[in-house]
């Protein structure tokens, strides 16, 4: 049985995923790579530009499916869009009429170095979830078709990145409006790496690498290295991804995110202040 559910105006085509790879060893399967190519082929037929494959959004897709399989947050009124554990930036019970979708959208900020919200599309089949079957189903349902093509209620969201993951019964897609600074996604057991490629004509508006990032979110500051290391230990307890120390002549700072423009930085800052109320942005 294939399912499509509307919650707070967003698509839910149920999904869940696999194992726990470390981020450094992360790779996508050949089936996942084929689905990525199929989605871009479909978008091309429909007159849309191709999306770049995002390693970080694929990491989020894999993490969400692992959470669904291991912890079953989709119980009672909670949909499979829900998350069970708080170390990913709050647990979520997402159900019809609830306004907790931000908890899902901000997962890329908490789990990876992806610099923006992500939007998830989930598919479930009682039998093994086949990429071709999932895409064929998505194309027949207006709301999922609109999401893949950036039309209808999604016309104001300008996708440039896509991540994905597949498990026996589930497929998860994540779409984003920002490019991925991790520019290569390995394909398991093939030796191939798929580069992140921005659509033509968009390169002047979006950053391509971490070297372009000018706005940084600071969680702590101290005049001594020992002092900042003590603060870093406390921040590690929040399970935030990507904490690092930067040093200037006078101060040490703990940075959690770096962004190409203030709009992206402000959006991320709003999320991180849920855990560190006095977080702030510096520009350099």
**What kind and span of H or E run contains 231?**
helix 225-236
Structure pTM? 0.70
Tell me the domain boundaries of the chain: 5-195, 213-283
- Find the mean pLDDT for residues 22-51: 92
Q: What is the pLDDT of residues 55-68, one digit of tens each?
A: 999 999 999 888 88
Q: Which residues pair with 247 in a beta bridge?
A: 252
pLDDT category at 242 given cuts 50, 70, 90 is low
Report how far residue 106's alpha carbon sits from residue 119's, in angstroms, rounded to the nearest whole number. 9
Alpha helix ranges (H) inside 125-196: 131-140, 142-149
| Complete DSSP assignment for 234-276 | HHHTTT-TT-EEEE-SS-EEEEEEEESSHHHHHHHHHHHTTT-
Report how far residue 184's alpha carbon sits from residue 22's, in angstroms, rounded to the nearest whole number. 16
Per CATH, the number for 213-283 is 3.30.70.1070
Least confident of 22-26, 51-55, 128-132, 168-172: 22-26
Do 5-195 and 213-283 share a fold? no
Provide the greatest CA pair distance for the chain.
Answer: 61
- Supply 47's token pair: 């007159």
Fold of the domain built from segment(s) 5-195 = Pathogenesis-related Protein p14a (3.40.33)
Q: What is the mean pLDDT of the chain?
A: 81
pLDDT category at 87 given cuts 50, 70, 90 is very low
**What kind and span of H or E run contains 102?**
helix 101-105
Predicted confidence at residue 209, as pLDDT, reads 39
pLDDT category at 261 given cuts 50, 70, 90 is confident
Give the 3-state secondary structure of residue 83.
Answer: strand
């Amino acid at each position: 049985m294939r399912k499509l559910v509307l919650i707070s105006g967003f698509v839910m085509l149920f999904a869940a995923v696999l194992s726990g790879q470390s981020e450094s060893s992360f790779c996508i399967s050949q089936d996942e790579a084929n689905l990525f190519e199929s989605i871009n082929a479909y978008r091309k037929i429909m007159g849309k530009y191709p999306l770049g494959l995002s390693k970080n959004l694929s990491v989020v897709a894999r993490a969400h499916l692992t959470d669904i399989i291991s912890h079953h947050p989709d119980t009672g009124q909670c949909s499979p869009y829900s998350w069970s554990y708080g170390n990913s930036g709050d647990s979520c019970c997402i159900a019809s009429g609830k306004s907790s979708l931000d908890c899902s959208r901000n997962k890329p900020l908490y789990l990876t170095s992806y610099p923006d919200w992500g939007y998830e599309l989930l598919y479930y089949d009682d039998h093994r979830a086949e990429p071709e079957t999932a895409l064929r189903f998505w194309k027949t349902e207006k709301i999922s078709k609109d999401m893949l093509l950036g039309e209808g209620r999604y016309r104001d969201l300008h996708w440039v990145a896509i991540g994905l993951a597949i498990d026996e019964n589930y497929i998860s897609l994540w779409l984003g409006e920002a490019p991925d600074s991790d520019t290569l996604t390995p394909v398991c057991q093939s030796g191939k790496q798929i580069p992140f490629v921005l659509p033509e004509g968009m390169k002047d508006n979006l950053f391509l690498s971490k070297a372009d990032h000018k706005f940084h979110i600071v969680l702590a500051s101290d005049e001594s290295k020992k002092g900042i290391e003590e603060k870093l230990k406390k921040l590690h307890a929040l399970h935030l991804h990507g904490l690092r120390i930067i040093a200037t002549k006078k101060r040490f700072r703990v940075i959690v995110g770096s962004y190409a423009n203030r709009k992206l930085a402000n959006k991320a800052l709003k999320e991180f202040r849920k855990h560190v109320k006095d977080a702030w942005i510096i520009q350099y």
